[in-house]
Amino acid sequence: MTLQKVNTRNTVLVLMIVAAAAFRFVSYKYPYVLSNFTPVGAIALFGGAYFTDKWKAYLVPLITLFLSDMVLNFLYSSKIVFYSESLWMYLCFAIIVFIGSLIKKATVVSVLLASIVSVVIHWLFIDMPWLYGNLYPHTLAGYGQSLIAAIPFEKNMLFGDLLFGLILFGGFELAKSKYGVLRAKTELAV
């Protein structure tokens, strides 16, 4: 694959991720209606599936998440804040990038399954009660309470992942079918 193909493909992937991440600022304006209805999970899956260099698959979505978090933290609290729970969240999204890397062919079924699995992992991982102080008891029952309370947020995350997954995966697959420069080296032989 020529350097031009690599640069064009990576540039398009990065631009698509940044454009999708911009929707996080729309959900900021309507927090009660769009709480957790964001493209973050879809971005992580998309990056994992399409970047041929795996370090880029992790770096681009996680840096995009970090930068948009800094802006949102500034908007919410008038100062840039990095809190200890962020590390758990970034680890969770790194796992979602890994799930995306398991998608060998982007089909409706593979993206749907990857979206469901990533939301379940996010739900089980992020909603551990000991991550958020004393909101819930640090017991198995407290964990259950936290999981139940998180269902509406995780439902919105699933809907966000599905919508943005459709846009990102579908858009890139359509673009690849029209512009050969966007295809990976392994796809060119096919």
Alpha helices in 36-139 (DSSP H): 40-50, 54-77, 85-101, 108-126
Q: Model-level pTM?
A: 0.87
* pLDDT class of 80 with cuts at 50, 70, 90: low
Q: Rounded to 10 degrees, what is the CA torsion of 139, 144, 146, 147?
A: 140
Res. 187 pLDDT band, cuts 50 70 90: low
Q: 186, 168, 173, 145: which is closest to 40 by C-alpha?
A: 168
pLDDT tens-digit map of 159-174: 999 999 999 999 999 9
Q: To which H or E segment does residue 99 belong?
A: helix 85-101
Among 61-70, 101-110, 129-138, 148-157, which is the least confidently predicted range?
129-138
Contacts of residues 62-67 at CB distance under 8 Å and 24 or more positions apart, as own/partner, are: 62/90, 62/93, 62/94, 62/97, 64/17, 64/18, 64/21, 65/21, 65/40, 65/90, 65/93, 66/90
- What type of residue is 118? S
